[in-house]
Amino acid sequence: MQLFAIIVTLSLSVVGLALIVRAVVQLVRFMKLGQPVPAGSRTDDPKARSATLTREFLGHTRMNRWGVVGVAHWFVAIGFLTLPPTIVNAYGQLFEADWTLPVIGDWTPYSMYIEFIGLMTTLGIATLMVIRLLDLPSRPGRKSRFAGSTFWQAYFVEYVIFVIGLAILMLRGLEGALHGVDHYEAAYFVSYPLVTAFGGLGITTVQNLVYFWAMVKLGTTMIWMITVALNIDMGVAWHRFLAFPNIWFKRNARGRDALGPLLPMTSGGEPIDFETVFDDEGGEETQFGVSQVEHFSWKGLLDFSTCTECGRCQSQCPAWNTGKPLSPKLLIMSLRDHSHAKAPYLLAGGGKTAEGEEKATETQLKDVPAAALAEAERPLIGTLEDNGVIDPDVLWSCTTCGACVEQCPVDIEHIDHIVDMRRYQVMIESAFPSEAGTMLKNLEKKGNPWGLAKKQRLEWTKEVDFDVPVVGKTIDDLTEVEYLYWVGCAGALEDRAKKTTKAFAELLHIAGVTFAIMGGDEKCTGDSPRRLGNEFLFQQLAEENIATLNAAFGEDDEDETTRLPTAKKKIVATCPHCFNTIANEYPQLGGHYEVIHHTQLLQHLIDEGKLVPVTPVEGLITYHDPCYLGRHNKVYTPPREIIGKVPGLRNEEMHRHKERGFCCGAGGARMWMEERIGKRINNERVDEALSLNPDIVSTACPFCLVMLTDSVNGKKNEGQAQETIQVVDVSQLLLESVSVERVPASESAPPA
């Protein structure tokens, strides 16, 4: 038995170690195929990055949101990281059955730790196995987060871990029997029943059992290693190693998700400046977006290989949940499989020029497998008929809501990759949903998505009972007021959103807060064109707005002495998309401002006693979290606190709220595109709201307001919703409670 165990184990070990070394080399070479990233963007503040990695791993900060699953996975992960000493011990036991590790082998605390973690790892993986086995039958089709995952790989990994955990416990029991343990000892507090059972066997039998279970433990480990080494695209296994660098190299060193701002479009690791990109001869070689898998950065390729196919992103995706072809998990898996299949071709020097000509010679490609050559011919974006890797309907279904990024336990940056592919489609191929073209033309010609004249931006000011200061008309600049109120295109031009604008302005007036608005020369912040993929138009709009804002704040680019401190450049916005763009993306182009959302300011004014809700607003209310306010910018509390201060309101949360809030369907420029596949996302969200039988559905975003109102009105017409239900912004509710009667604001003094 001993000789057999030694031969089998050492043979598997030699093969396994050789293959795993080769696989690691292959992975490193594969990652180097990706494009560089801007200098320092992934390596800044190494201490913070290391702290973030430690916190996310030891705290399992993402996984633990899933209750039992998180706890079970934590023990499995800790076991994988800390039980390797048992591998060394098992090798020793092949040659000497009662061998133990030097120094710590007989140390009781170490033995107790191995016993406890060995047991909990085994129970943890058993729990995860049961959950996976029960999930598909109980949640058929799209409802299962495992739908589309590679099942044989997942089952293989789970059963391997279970067998190894079982072998550890068996070996502990056999060790106790060999060491003559005849009474309870703390060192064997888990395996003592096994010690007792094995204690009645003969010494030779126990020794043979040690050789057998050592072989089982090490042989299973090596079979796992060989399988993983031969399948370097096996994310469910490789994430155990790749998750650590993927988290360390995440976008934000201090741990924030890759949400909020989009990354600037880069070529060769440098951000593209559209004012200068064509000034030199190299401009024609600039890569606009991603049209081939090798155009992704090395971090993108690392993302793809790290995906563990857990499906948390898929379970939260609004597109997937409404019958559309986009699953963030399946998209990443498709990119992973394609990139690995194409890798031999790329490593041989293959690739296409901008004109579509082959870079490599026939000699370079002569040893490339036919499968890799065939994979290289597949278009990255293309229909099933075109043999495309990613179908256009998948690409354009994304609302950039951020649910996938927020849920991913290994920090994959789905939105960045989707937008990079959109950028190429829009800017080079001009291939995007036709309805979005109208929005782009209106932005180019009129500076707003509706194509309305700029003078109409001020029309709403005629509908309030007080004077609204306008920069460049009634005041020279913003030095005379506390805030610039950035009204935004929807707030100024869309009838439903204008109600929010007027309510918020009236609340500021009641509270005695001085503010002003722009004079109509401002343009769309560029949120929609940027998320559609038109980076050029975004930069154009943003730079014009930054110049307009700086002038309004009294800045002179040529005179440093006139510049205001950043802290005094205060902007408040009612649109989360404007809020996110000005606060998080304008700094990429030199525009630095202090930006808050209107719910944050209103909460502050209530806390200061400048706004006092007194009139009851009766009814049951449910609040919808705008994605770009909530997930992208972590503003969850202020709207709820405002609702909580309004007398008479009874708040009830929808099932999906806060971090797991469900999108309205308007983000990612989807506001300007038709939904032709599956159920409309806004209808899905409204159905969830109506299940509570509310009197009021509230939100804090003009896009959400439009989408939810459209759905509610449609359901009213179909008799599926009560006629009295309202869809309103939280500012409208607050105004209704603050002002007992709508008297001219000039006749009402601000509350003490």
Cα-trace Rg, the chain: 30
Element (H, E) at 90: helix 85-95
Residue 576 lies in a domain: yes
Give dist(CA 214, CA 6) in Å, integer: 9
Q: Which residues have a Cβ under 8 Å from the Cβ of 437 and sit 6 or more positions away? A: none
State pLDDT tens for residues 328-348: 999 999 999 999 999 999 999
pLDDT band for position 742 (cuts 50, 70, 90): very low
Residue 749 lies in a domain: no
Res 251: pLDDT: 95
Res 141: pLDDT: 81
171, 93: one domain = yes
Give dist(CA 667, CA 701) in Å, integer: 11
Question: Count of alpha carbons within 13 Å of 21, Cβ hemisphere only?
Answer: 5
Residue 101 lies in a domain: yes
Tokens of 334: 């498709």
311, 293: one domain = yes
550 SS3 class: helix
Residue 69 has pLDDT above 80, yes or no: yes
Element (H, E) at 597: strand 594-597
Residue 417 lies in a domain: yes
Q: Which domain holds residue 630?
A: 607-738
693, 592: one domain = no
Residue 320 has pLDDT above 90, yes or no: yes
Comparing C-alpha atoms, which of 210, 224, 223 is closest to residue 90? 210
Which residues are registered as beta bridge partners of 729? 699
Res 280: pLDDT: 59
Residue 744 has pLDDT above 70, yes or no: no
Element (H, E) at 52: helix 46-59
173, 263: one domain = no
* Interval 60-75 mean pLDDT: 90
Res 200: pLDDT: 86
407, 522: one domain = no
pLDDT band for position 275 (cuts 50, 70, 90): confident
> DSSP letter at 572?
E
Comparing C-alpha atoms, which of 396, 408, 458 is closest to residue 250? 408
* Interval 431-441 mean pLDDT: 95
Are the beta carbons of 564 and 553 closer than 8 angstroms? Answer: yes
Q: Which of 603, 624, 656 is the last residue before a domain boundary?
A: 603
517 SS3 class: strand
> DSSP letter at 352?
B
Angle, to 10 degrees, between the axis of helix 298-306 and the axis of helix 328-347? 120
Residue 118 has pLDDT above 90, yes or no: yes
Phi, psi of 568 (to 5 degrees): -90, -10
578, 646: one domain = no
Least-confidence region, from 53-62, 123-132, 138-147, 737-746: 737-746
Tokens of 743: 């008297």
Residue 2 lies in a domain: no
Residue 66 has pLDDT above 90, yes or no: no
Residue 357 has pLDDT above 90, yes or no: no
Residue 356 lies in a domain: no
Comparing C-alpha atoms, which of 751, 729, 728 is closest to residue 740? 751
Res 282: pLDDT: 53
Res 714: pLDDT: 94
Residue 565 has pLDDT above 60, yes or no: no
Strands (E), 371-514: 483-486
State pLDDT tens for residues 33-61: 999 999 999 999 999 999 999 999 999 99
* Interval 664-685 mean pLDDT: 96
Q: What is the pTM of this model?
A: 0.93
Task: Sort 714 into a burial class: Cβ within 10 Å, 0-12 / 13-18 / 19+.
Answer: middle
599, 611: one domain = no
422, 557: one domain = no
Tokens of 209: 């059992």
Rounded alpha-carbon distances, angstroms, from residue 727 to 617, 681, 711 = 14, 16, 10
Give dist(CA 581, CA 575) in Å, integer: 10
Per the prediction, the chain carries an average pLDDT of 92
659, 721: one domain = yes
Res 283: pLDDT: 57
* Interval 387-398 mean pLDDT: 97
* Interval 489-506 mean pLDDT: 96
State pLDDT tens for residues 545-559: 999 999 999 876 544
State pLDDT tens for residues 174-231: 999 999 898 999 999 999 999 999 988 999 999 999 999 999 999 999 999 999 999 9
Residue 635 lies in a domain: yes
Res 64: pLDDT: 85
pLDDT band for position 235 (cuts 50, 70, 90): very high
Helix spans in 100-249 (H):
108-138, 151-178, 192-199, 203-230, 235-248
Residue 723 has pLDDT above 60, yes or no: yes
> DSSP letter at 626?
P
Give dist(CA 75, CA 162) in Å, integer: 12
Res 494: pLDDT: 95
Are the beta carbons of 398 and 319 closer than 8 angstroms? Answer: yes
676, 631: one domain = yes
- CATH code: domain of residue 696: 3.40.50
158 SS3 class: helix
* Interval 378-401 mean pLDDT: 96
Res 293: pLDDT: 96
* Interval 264-278 mean pLDDT: 88
* Interval 382-390 mean pLDDT: 95
State pLDDT tens for residues 454-485: 999 999 999 999 999 999 999 988 988 999 99
Higher local confidence (pLDDT), 664 or 63 = 664
Phi, psi of 708 (to 5 degrees): -70, -40
206, 218: one domain = yes
Res 500: pLDDT: 97
523, 423: one domain = no
297 SS3 class: strand
Residue 19 lies in a domain: no
Q: Which of 567, 585, 603 is the last residue before a domain boundary?
A: 603
Comparing C-alpha atoms, which of 716, 703, 710, 685 is closest to residue 622? 685
Rounded alpha-carbon distances, angstroms, from residue 291 to 248, 259, 332, 353, 422 = 27, 23, 15, 11, 9
Query: What is the distance, to the nearest Å, from the Cα of residue 647 to the centroid of all Cα atoms in its chain?
Result: 36
Comparing C-alpha atoms, which of 287, 245, 334, 295 is closest to residue 27? 245
Q: Report the domain count for the chain.
A: 4
